[in-house]
Structure 1
Amino acid sequence: MTTAGQRARRGAVGVAWLLVIVALLGLGTWQVQRRAWKLDLIARVNARVHAAAVPAPATVDQNSAYLRVQARGAYVAGKDTFVQALTVRGPGFWAMTPLRLTSGATVLINRGYVPARRALPPPTGLATVTGLLRLTEPRGGFLRKNDPGAERWYSRDVGAIAARRGVTPALPYFIDADAADTRPGAPVGGLTVIRFPNSHLAYAVTWYILALMSTAGFVYWIRQGPRRPDRGA
């Protein structure tokens, strides 16, 4: 016969075990939902990237990222900012130059990749820039914060760059320009990398397998029944 204490402990273990199984199933289901959200996000971004360009907007939100836009204005020469970059062409810098729009507003243009802190001056006169709208990056780089005073830039922080260059107010985003400037020595545009990690299916399968293993162990434990106390000889 089992004691009341043994039954209570066994009941507590059973409840805890069931809670673990429910939690594992919940994690698996959450990853399935995350996968559906990620696939929808990828589809929406792809639609924006390949859509016809629209005029550069005055306001943006999270759903504006990677929207194909077109801006017309004059570059503000002598206001380049070089942001460290790692690209398919190797390490270097993004050349960020303000563009004064015909509307009077200013938007930062990522003209493209350069291997060193120098770039061919931007085209003069009115220019039409087509590219992808990118949201500002105010947090700096990984483990490295922007240092405007020392001209060390690790992220494309629109507000900080505009303030440093004296072109405020600027629109709250920047544009990754297409590879339209083919002059020798000009920044290489069109290098935007659009990649959204999507390992949610693998995570979901892992959680569900752990839930299945835990369930099998629980069933085996139930069938074994409580241990009976040894009887003396």
Structure 2
Amino acid sequence: MTRARRIGLILFAGLATVVFVGLGVWQVQRRAWKLDLVARVEARLAAPPAAAPGPGAWPDVTADGDAYRRLVLSGTFVPGHDTLVQAVTELGPGSWVLTPLTTDDGFTVLVNRGFVPPERRAPEDHVAPADHVTVTGLLRLTEPDGAFLRANDPAAGRWYSRDTAAIAAAQGLGPVAPFFVDQGHGAAGVYPVGGLTVVRFHNSHLVYALTWFAMALTTLVGTVLALRHGRRAGTRAATPAPAGAATHLG
């Protein structure tokens, strides 16, 4: 192996190792962040429900700080303004039923009242209570734009994500909270079916980190072996043949 090739190999291996180690460290940091998030969410789920944030607090509502907080809000549902959003749940495919609720404090929050199967999409199959209600559920952040490769189509009434601002605009509701509330369990056999929120966080960051660190180690070991092999091959090529070692044919 020539000197130039050795230098090129060392530079490439060094750069690759730095990149792999950096990615491994990033995954370790992501794992720490994810474990902290899981701990915070578990604490929120175990805490007693709090009042829903009002308009003054909306700019400060974030996924890290507020997602899956238990909330309680009282008010009346706005009739005739249900929005059906595509859903896939443990009960199969169907729709979430989002209904605006005007709280006793005068602001509006979309409430995900629960799941309905395709045969119960008709308005009469998921009529909201007309009297004053108290709703307990989980705070969920708005889901703007739509789902992966499927944009919301308000004009056609096709919704693939719970985009609170877009739903409010389509329904003519005016300002609404930048979050919605997943309502908890209701009476058995009654639609919509609440309490189907899945609180699960994918956490494979340790596996990813170990993979990147293993790739860094493999790069270093492979480079050392390649350099040794190149040095030995160069040494053999440079060593003259012993005197009298030529073979004569006669």
TM-score (norm 2): 0.85
Query: What is the Cα-based RMSD across aligned positions, in Å?
Result: 1.9
Question: 1:154 aligned to 2:160?
Answer: yes
SS of the residue corresponding to residue 218 of structure 2 reads helix
TM-superposition CA deviations, 1:155-209 (whole Å, max 9, x none): 11101111122211111111000013x1754211010011211111111111122
TM-superposition CA deviations, 1:45-82 (whole Å, max 9, x none): 11112211000002122221111111100011111111
1:164-203 correspondence to structure 2 within 5 Å = 164-180=170-186, 182=187, 184-203=189-208
Deviation of the 1:37 alpha carbon: 0.9
Deviation of the 1:225 alpha carbon: 5.0
1:130 maps to: 136
TM-score (norm 1): 0.91
The one-letter code sitting in structure 2 at the alignment partner of 1:46 is E
2:14 maps to: 18
2:49 maps to: 53
Tell me which moved more, 212-221 or 165-174. Answer: 212-221
1:209 maps to: 214
SS of the residue corresponding to residue 228 of structure 1 reads helix
1:121 maps to: 127
The one-letter code sitting in structure 1 at the alignment partner of 2:30 is R
How many residue pairs get matched? 228
Contact 2:21/2:212 (<8 A) preserved: yes
The one-letter code sitting in structure 1 at the alignment partner of 2:53 is P
Deviation of the 1:212 alpha carbon: 1.8
1:82 maps to: 84
Tell me which moved more, 20-29 or 85-94. Answer: 20-29
SS of the residue corresponding to residue 164 of structure 1 reads helix
Distance 1:10 1:184 in 2: 73
Tell me which moved more, 85-94 or 28-37. Answer: 28-37
Contact 2:6/2:227 (<8 A) preserved: no
More helix by share: 2
Percent identity for Structure 1 against Structure 2 = 52
What runs of 5+ residues in structure 2 fail to find an aligned partner? 242-250
1:71 maps to: 73
What runs of 5+ residues in structure 1 fail to find an aligned partner? none
1:112 maps to: 114
Distance 1:57 1:163 in 2: 21
Q: 1:192 to 1:224 in 2, by over 3 A?
A: same
Distance 1:210 1:183 in 2: 53
The one-letter code sitting in structure 2 at the alignment partner of 1:26 is G
Distance 1:66 1:103 in 2: 22
Tell me which moved more, 199-208 or 220-229. Answer: 220-229
